Amino acid sequence: MHLLNLSLAEFFTLFSAATAVVVALYLLDRSRRTVRVATLRFWNEAQRPVESAQRRRIRQWPSLLLQLLSIALLLLAVSQLRWGSRETGARDHVLLVDTSAWGGALVVSAGATESLLDQSKSLALAYTRALPAVDRVMVVYADGLATPATAFESDHRKVEEAIRRATAGASALNLAQALEFARGTLTRHARAAGEIVLAGGGRALTSETALPQEWPANLRLLTPKGSPENVGIRKLGLRPSPDDPGLWRILVSVRNFGLRPHAADLTLTFGGAPAAGRTLQLNPGQEVETAFEYRTRAAGLIEARLRTRGDRFSADDRAVLELPAQPELAVTVCTDEPDLLRPLLSSLPVLAVTTRSRAQCLAQSPQGVAVYDRFVPPGALKGPSLLLEPPVDRSPIPFAKSGVNERIERWEQRHPLAAGLRAQDFRLTQALVFRPAQGDTPIAFSASGPVLVAREAAGQPKLVVAGFHPLRSQLKFELATPLLFANILRWFAPEAFRRGEVFAGTVGAVTSPVHTGGELRVIDESGQALPYTLRDEQVRFYSARMGTVRVMQDGREQTYSLALPEIPEAVWTPPQRARRGVPSAAAGFAQARDLWVWLAVLGALGLLLDWLLFAPAGSGHSFGLRNWAPLQRLQRRAS
């Protein structure tokens, strides 16, 4: 037996103070009262023989004792007197509700179909109801992250409400993180550490960092019954063919998470129309990757759907990706020697090249990017234009001199036009050396000056002027020539050269290959940058929510559609010593019994009895009850 709220010394101090006050009030209340009356006539008749003072004092003791006893009972109630040892007092528990994606799997229990999360919630509710009322519980939603839903709460109704609110997320349970969070919370914030209770379906990430190194001794497991079968899509990837524009390579990865072999029908649809299909045989734990090819240059939704008999988890049976359009870059070449440039431009599959004569270009403005071979049209240029060896008198970039046997000595490496260009020491038989104006950017330099200049002005089309003809000089044998043309065309229309790769995967940690150098950006669908780590030419980021993440580096963009739930590959094995199941209220917890309610009721009854029996009738509190015959008899007997 112990007091929960007060120490013994505090209790006796308070009781002494209350006793002093009560005795003082009692004596004051029992002192002789002066009353002014109309006549003493009837009082004389009512007067009885005078009793001794000793007799009077004895008669009033029961009232005082009853008051003191009642106050002592009320003080004990306030102190929360408990029957039982102090060790069995109130404890704080952390209840981890497994809200991982696996909680959405269905199981059949007692003829009814319900999800693992529903079973977990039922077990958590039963556990909460088995706890003593004084125990506090913190509810934590555990999936990839551990998120507290409540503080340590003594109001079990709020705890139950938080349990009922739990919904399955998209990530897998990170058990080590959840247990570490629970352990730390109990250590730092609990009054008396209770249990760490995990209500969940038994699947968790089994990597080294996701499984705890040491299991807590106060762990209790509330494991739902049943092991649902599941065959699901793990990954869906789309990659354009590098040498065949319009051809997409589609890679689908399917895994059998169940304990039985399954035959899964995998179908692909594009824009709602069937695109491909295949039946996969999967043994337990087996993951199969299968590839498809699909040809389209149009944008649209490509959907992979999996149908498996006996599959109890449908969230990973469907993956949808948005296929981006594959645009072509229109290039018009104005030349009287079409064979000179054709081999070079046809090597770039993204280009739609049109060759026109000078007369045709003069008659009709060229579409898209214009390449003018030793020719400059009159008037202003209307689109991005590349001028090769323009006439001296028509060059938009002022020329300084006409050089002979000029040698390119360096490239402006900071400009994208010169990216990757290292070729030097080759001679240009004939070249124009320019005198760049304000805003012009020299790209290639000879000893006499710039021979390749770019101009980019607001409101004006981009312009590149080469003072030499790459294919009429020694440069045509250099690898730098196609690279220079590719750089020029990418600078003109970067979106046409962007290689888009699209993947559908599971939420959680994603690893993506990148190359070193170059600006790397990882953004989610709202444009917010996601934190990432870069190591060994791989970028690694984490997203616990379903959505789209883009990894962009230079002209390459990888889109990750994280629309598949993260399902752990294996079932983790709990330690043998962990307690299991919902304890019964009596057996599970050696709880101390609260007596304060009874003490408060007894104290109140004592005060009420004292008031009914001994309260002065003239104190203004008289009720009809005072004239109740049994009460009067009791009062006479007490007196």
Partner 1 sequence: MAQGPFIDKHFLERLERLAIHWQKSFGGIVGGHNTSRFSGPGQEFLDHRHFHHGDDLRAVNWRAYMRLEKMFLKMFQIEPRVPVRLLLDASASMEAPTPAKFLAARRLAAALVYVGLVRLDTIILNTFSNSLGDARVCSGGRHRFGPVSDFLSTAEARGTTDFLAVSKQFVERYSQRGLLIIISDFLTDADNTKSFDYLAEFGHELLLLQVYADEDRVPPWDGELELEEAESGARLEMDFDFEARQRYTAAFDEWSEQLRRAALRHGGRFTAISTSLPVEEAVFGPLVRVQGVR
The answer to the question of residue 625 lying near partner 1 (CB under 8 A) is: no
Long-range contacts, stretch 473-479, CB < 8 angstroms, 24+ apart: 473/426, 473/427, 473/428, 473/429, 473/430, 473/431, 474/426, 474/427, 474/428, 474/429, 475/408, 475/423, 475/426, 475/428, 478/423, 478/426, 479/423
Indicate the residue among 33 and 577 with the shorter CB distance to partner 1.
Answer: 33
For 244, 293, 328, 331, 354, the CA distances from 349, given in Å and listed in that order, are 7, 18, 8, 12, 14
Question: What element of type H or E holds 117?
Answer: helix 116-130
Question: Tokens 């109704």 correspond to what residue?
Answer: 157
Q: Would you count residue 519 as binding partner 1 (CB under 8 A)?
A: no
Q: CB of residue 28 vs partner 1: minimum separation in angstroms?
A: 12
User: Which of 272, 379, 459, 618 is in the footprint of partner 1 by CB under 8 A?
Assistant: 618
Q: Is 637 in the site for partner 1 (CB under 8 A)?
A: no
3-state secondary structure labels for all residues of 472-502: HCHHHHCCHHHHHHHHHHHHHCHHHHCEEEE
Structure tokens at 54: 């000793």
Ramachandran area for residue 385 (φ above 0: left; ψ -120 to 50: alpha; else beta)? beta
Does the protein bind partner 1 through residue 44 (CB under 8 A)?
yes
Nearer Cβ to partner 1 (577/636) = 636
Q: How many residues does the chain have?
A: 639
Query: Considering the rule CB under 8 A, would residue 628 count as an interface residue with partner 1?
Result: no
**Residue 281, interface with partner 1 (CB under 8 A)?**
no
Window contacting partner 1 (CB under 8 A); options: 45-53, 337-345, 391-399, 416-424: 45-53
Please count the CA atoms within 13 angstroms of the CA of 214 that sit on its side-chain side.
4
Site string for partner 1, 567-606 (x = CB under 8 A): ----------------------------------------
Segment interacting with partner 1, rule: CB under 8 A, options 204-212, 222-230, 296-304, 612-620: 612-620
Backbone angles phi, psi at 459, to 5 degrees: 80, 0
Among 65, 155, 622, 628, binds partner 1 (CB under 8 A): 622
57 makes contact with partner 1 (CB under 8 A): no
Q: Smaller CB distance to partner 1: residue 46 or 380? A: 46
Candidates 9, 273, 587, 617: give the one binding partner 1 (CB under 8 A).
617
Among 157, 535, 636, 637, binds partner 1 (CB under 8 A): 636
56 is a site residue for partner 1 (CB under 8 A): yes
Given candidates 13, 17, 20, 42, which one binds partner 1 under the rule CB under 8 A? 42
**43 contacts partner 1 (rule: CB under 8 A):** yes
Is 451 within 8 Å of 321 (Cβ atoms)? no
Window 471-510: residues binding partner 1 (CB under 8 A)? none
User: Among the candidate windows 50-58, 251-259, 529-537, 566-574, which touches partner 1 by CB under 8 A?
Assistant: 50-58
Rounded to a whole number of angstroms, the minimum distance from the CB of residue 37 to partner 1 is 5
CB of 625 to partner 1, least distance (A): 14
Q: Is 41 in the site for partner 1 (CB under 8 A)?
A: yes
- Quick one: 38 or 110, whose CB is closer to partner 1? 38
Span from 4-12, 198-206, 500-508, 616-624 in contact with partner 1 (CB under 8 A): 616-624
> Is position 54 an interface residue for partner 1 (rule: CB under 8 A)?
no
Q: Which is nearer to partner 1, 364 or 639 (CB)?
A: 639
3-state secondary structure of 196: strand
Question: How many Cα atoms sit within 13 Å of 361 on the Cβ side?
Answer: 29
HEC readout, 129-186: HHCCCCCEEEEEEECCCEEECCCCECCHHHHHHHHHHCCCCCCCCCHHHHHHHHHHHH
Site string for partner 1, 249-268 (x = CB under 8 A): --------------------
Residue 270's beta-bridge partner residues? Answer: 273, 302
Size of the site for partner 1 (CB under 8 A): 30
Tell me how crowded residue 30 is: count the other CB atoms within 10 A of its CB. 15
Near partner 1 by CB under 8 A: residue from 28, 50, 363, 458 = 50
DSSP letter for each residue of 354-420: EEE-HHHHHHSPPPSEEEEES---SS---S-EEEES--GGG-SSPEEEEEEEEEEEEE-TTSGGGTT
Task: Note whether 616 binds partner 1 by CB under 8 A.
Answer: yes
48 binding partner 1? (CB under 8 A): yes
* Candidates 49-57, 358-366, 374-382, 383-391; binding stretch for partner 1 (CB under 8 A): 49-57
Question: Within positions 10 to 39, which residues make up the interface with partner 1, using CB under 8 A?
Answer: 30-39
Phi, psi of 392 (to 5 degrees): -60, -40
> Based on CB atoms, which residue is closest to partner 1, 227 or 635?
635
Pair 207, 570: CB distance under 8 Å: no
In angstroms, give the least distance from the CB of 63 to partner 1: 11
Give the range of 66-74, 467-475, 477-485, 611-619 binding partner 1 by CB under 8 A.
611-619
- Listed in sequence order, the residues at least 6 apart from 121 whose beta carbon sits closer than 8 Å to its beta carbon are 97, 163, 164, 166, 199
Of the pair 398, 616, the CB lying nearest partner 1 is at 616
Rounded to whole angstroms, the Cα distance separating 460 from 454 reads 12
Binding region for partner 1 (CB under 8 A) out of 192-200, 492-500, 553-561, 614-622? 614-622
Among the residue ranges 87-95, 109-117, 518-526, 613-621, the one whose residues contact partner 1 (CB under 8 A): 613-621
Q: Which of 9, 46, 458, 586 binds partner 1 (CB under 8 A)?
A: 46
Candidate residues 51, 287, 289, 336; the one interacting with partner 1 per rule CB under 8 A: 51
Closest C-alpha to 462, from 421, 497, 494, 422: 494
Residue 45 in contact with partner 1, rule: CB under 8 A: yes
Minimal distance, residue 68 CB to partner 1, in Å: 19
| C-alpha–C-alpha distance, residues 117 and 97, integer Å | 8
State both tokens at 335. Answer: 């030349």
User: Site for partner 1 (CB under 8 A): which residue of 9, 47, 528, 535?
Assistant: 47
For the chain, how long is the longest CA-to-CA vector? 151
Beta bridge pairs of residue 524: 549
Report the alpha-carbon distance of residue 44 to residue 530 in Å, rounded: 99
Among the listed residues 166, 235, 177, the one whose alpha carbon sits nearest the alpha carbon of residue 200: 166
* 51 vs 336, beta carbon nearer partner 1: 51
Residues that bind partner 1 (CB under 8 A): 30-48, 50-51, 56, 616-618, 622, 632, 635-636, 639
